[in-house]
Structure 1
Amino acid sequence: MKLSIPNFQFKVIPVFLITFLFFAVLPNLSVQAQTEGEDVLMEVDEMPKPKGGYEGWNAYLSQNLKYPEAARERKIEGTVIAIFVVDEKGEVSNVEILRGIGGGCDEEVMRLVKESPKWTPGKKDGEIVKVKMRLPVRFKL
């Protein structure tokens, strides 16, 4: 029995598309990011922790989270993912929404993160460093 391989026609991907994909994906593979001329690490030996640990963070959320009225009316539920930097002093900066759900939930998460108490800073090789964090906040009616 003879196997035949179908005749495929391959299309050549333009060089500029390959270059675009390379540079679009490359920054996401790095463990460091640049923020205002300073290194911000994404992987460290000890990650920053909110005041009181994650139990303290959950208590902070339960006391301060206000489900936006627009989200309630439209029955919006889901997870908002915020990214931000915890500096060497434990202060939060550069808060952004990586994935939002709308209805005012994104703004509420930004407010909560910006107003959060100081965090315990992260450490790399025993030194306190700036760390970029990713934090999910779930909204459920």
Structure 2
Amino acid sequence: MKVIKVLFMFILFPIFGFSQIGGEAEVYLTGDRIDAKFNGGGIDNFTEFLHKEFDYSKVTKPGKLEAAFTIDIQGNVTKIRIIQILDIESATEFIRVLKKCPKWEPAQRNGKPISIEIKYPMVFRAK
């Protein structure tokens, strides 16, 4: 009886566990994903918009500022948050510009719009 229990614990149990993990991974791999587009282009168009709208006089010191935001299924910029703060003035300006951002064309999976999160860094150098 002990031999059967040991056999089950070391041979059959890991096989069941592996098949469950394999099944979960398949859920995330199905379907073609198309990235969100900003003004008909990609992140380069967004960077151009950001550089035009951002008031660089609000930046008081060199360093890195990083924000994360979600592009929802309607193409709106939502859930804006600062991940890495440089100073309060530049973070506030970054949020202002993101709130002013026009709609994106949402990302898609299997032809249906999906929401995605984008992390966007800005690095400021000393003059």
Q: Does TM-score exceed 0.5, indicating one fold?
A: yes
Look up the match of 1:139. Answer: 124
Look up the match of 1:88. Answer: 73
Match of 1:47 among 30, 35, 45: 35
Distance 1:77 1:125, change over 3 A: same
Look up the match of 2:47. Answer: 58
User: Aligned partners of 1:98 and 1:70: how far apart in 2?
Assistant: 17
Look up the match of 2:86. Answer: 101
Q: Which has the larger radius of gyration?
A: 2
2:69–2:81: 8 Å Cα contact kept in structure 1?
Answer: yes
Match of 2:56 among 67, 77, 94: 67
1:67–1:139: 8 Å Cα contact kept in structure 2?
Answer: no
Equivalences, count? 94
**Can you list the C-alpha shifts for 1:25-59, whole angstroms capped at 9, x where unaligned?**
xxxxxxxxxxxxxxxxxxx8222232243332232
How far the C-alpha of 1:88 sits from its partner, in A, is 1.1
TM-score (ref. length: structure 1): 0.58
- Three-state SS of the structure 1 residue aligned to 2:123 is strand
RMSD: 2.0
Question: Counterparts of 1:102-117 in structure 2 under 5 Å?
Answer: 102-117=87-102
Look up the match of 1:16. Answer: none
1:50–1:57: 8 Å Cα contact kept in structure 2?
Answer: yes
How far the C-alpha of 1:65 sits from its partner, in A, is 0.9
**Can you list the C-alpha shifts for 1:82-111, whole angstroms capped at 9, x where unaligned?**
111111111111100011111511111111
- Structure 2 segments unaligned to the other structure (5+ residues): 1-31
1:87–1:130: 8 Å Cα contact kept in structure 2?
Answer: yes
- Three-state SS of the structure 2 residue aligned to 1:105 is helix
Aligned-pair identity in percent equals 23
1:86–1:121: 8 Å Cα contact kept in structure 2?
Answer: yes
- 2:103 maps to 1:118: yes
1:90–1:121: 8 Å Cα contact kept in structure 2?
Answer: yes
What is the identity, as a one-letter code, of the residue corresponding to 2:38? P
- Three-state SS of the structure 1 residue aligned to 2:33 is coil
What is the identity, as a one-letter code, of the residue corresponding to 2:105? T
